[in-house]
Structure 1
Amino acid sequence: MLYFIAIVTPDAINQQVLEWKHYMREQFHCKVALKSPAHITLIPPFTMAETAQPEIQALLEPFAASQQRFSIGLKNFAAFKPRVIYADVLPNPALSALQTSLEATLLQNGRFPVKKEDRPFHPHITIANRDLQKEDFAPAWQHFQQISYKGSFTAEAISLLKHNEHRWEIATSFPFGY
């Protein structure tokens, strides 16, 4: 089964992001981003036997309980040209520290097929990704550059998401301890 670990946004932000994802579907036939709730990926997708899920949950629960809630700011949009458009996450030392600590905890454990990420951590909330056609990028990007967006929320948990062969669903969420 495919899994990943993320901070899932609260419903109000998910609803706003969903509107943008629907715009991308209607205008540019982008559907892939609609298959997951709005989130900030901490550990990218990895394949793991479903039987290992309780074990990773047993590791994530105390990890999350040792974390402190923190605020996450969102402002406007950015892109990984020519395929990805996303709501931009403002620089956040607490978020970066959480990701680094989570990755280190999973790698030290050694029982889960998580790999050290080669790319630098670049938190974002995806609106359109791999099914955005290169020729559609410029008009889609022009649309989002004209929108002024500012939002924030408190990160209160991490979630283990699981792919059910159609879409990503939250398998379990692990609340922060304080």
Structure 2
Amino acid sequence: MLISTFCKKTAMKNKLSRAIARDVYFYGMNMYFVALVCPPEIDQQVLQWKLWMREKYNCVIALRSPAHITLVPPFWMKPELESELQQALSHYSASRDRFSIQLKDFSNFKPRVIFVNVIPGQQLVDLQKQLFDYLLSNGQFPLAKEDHPFHPHVTIATRDLHKKSFQEAWAYFKEKKYEAKWMAAGITLLRHNKKNWDAIAASQFK
């Protein structure tokens, strides 16, 4: 019992130390990500599913951002670089054509994530890869190369879906049918405000 208590206290101290070190390292920085933000009619439909997940399972994390497809996942950056990033995104977007995106039914990443499935068309796959490579090659922005393949999706519930509730929630969505199309007209930069994600700049395709 004494050993178990000691181990728990040590683990808590180590966790606290890591949290303090993280906060010191990221002091003065903001968190950002880049996405294709869904149009209002799709956002409103996805919002209804997010609210259902909140009511049934107390899931709130997905409610902190508009419905979207992540292109560049969240990263920390000094706010002084924000204008340079906006310029880079505008420059990149100006050379891209608009294209259609298709949403179809639902899928999941076990054991915590449920989402609207996105058909991964080649234009979407190319956009994500080329945008990421473009920003990396700039050398100014603190991005890390992703070590897993791009899997486009529109999140309904994520990290705060309890593992014990996953199967029950998924049983509800796997029986539902949903299909929608929308025209991707640009990319959006979002910034975390310590509570939610704000869309701060939209860069239009040609």
3-state SS, counterpart of residue 103 of structure 1: helix
Amino acid at match of 1:85: I
Say if 2:61 is the partner of 1:32: yes
Instruction: Give the unaligned 5+ runs of structure 2.
Output: 1-29
Task: Answer 1 or 2: which has greater helix percent.
Answer: 2
1:164 aligned partner: 193
Matched pairs, number: 177
3-state SS, counterpart of residue 148 of structure 2: coil
Q: Deviations over 1:34-93 (max 9, x none)?
A: 000000000000000111100111111010011000000000000000100000001210
Say if 2:134 is the partner of 1:134: no
Higher RCO (Cα < 8 Å, 6 or more apart)? 1
2:7 aligned partner: none
Q: 4+ residue runs of structure 1 moved beyond 3 angstroms?
A: none
1:150 CA displacement = 0.5
- Measured in 2, the distance between the counterparts of 1:116 and 1:7 equals 19
Residue 53 of structure 1: which of 59, 64, 82 is its match?
82
3-state SS, counterpart of residue 42 of structure 1: strand
Amino acid at match of 1:149: Y
Contact 2:54 2:60 in 1 (8 A): yes
Residue 89 of structure 1: which of 118, 130, 145 is its match?
118
Alignment of 1:71-82 (within 5 A): 71-82=100-111
3-state SS, counterpart of residue 53 of structure 1: helix
- Measured in 1, the distance between the counterparts of 2:96 and 2:140 equals 22
- Measured in 2, the distance between the counterparts of 1:86 and 1:31 equals 14
2:99 aligned partner: 70
Instruction: Give the unaligned 5+ runs of structure 1.
Output: none
Say if 2:52 is the partner of 1:6: no
- Measured in 2, the distance between the counterparts of 1:52 and 1:160 equals 13
2:22 aligned partner: none
1:153 aligned partner: 182
Say if 2:133 is the partner of 1:104: yes
Q: Could you tell me the TM-score, scaled by structure 2's length?
A: 0.85
1:169 CA displacement = 0.8
1:146 CA displacement = 1.4
Q: Deviations over 1:132-168 (max 9, x none)?
A: 0000001100000111100110000000000001100
CA RMSD of aligned residues (A): 0.5
3-state SS, counterpart of residue 17 of structure 1: helix
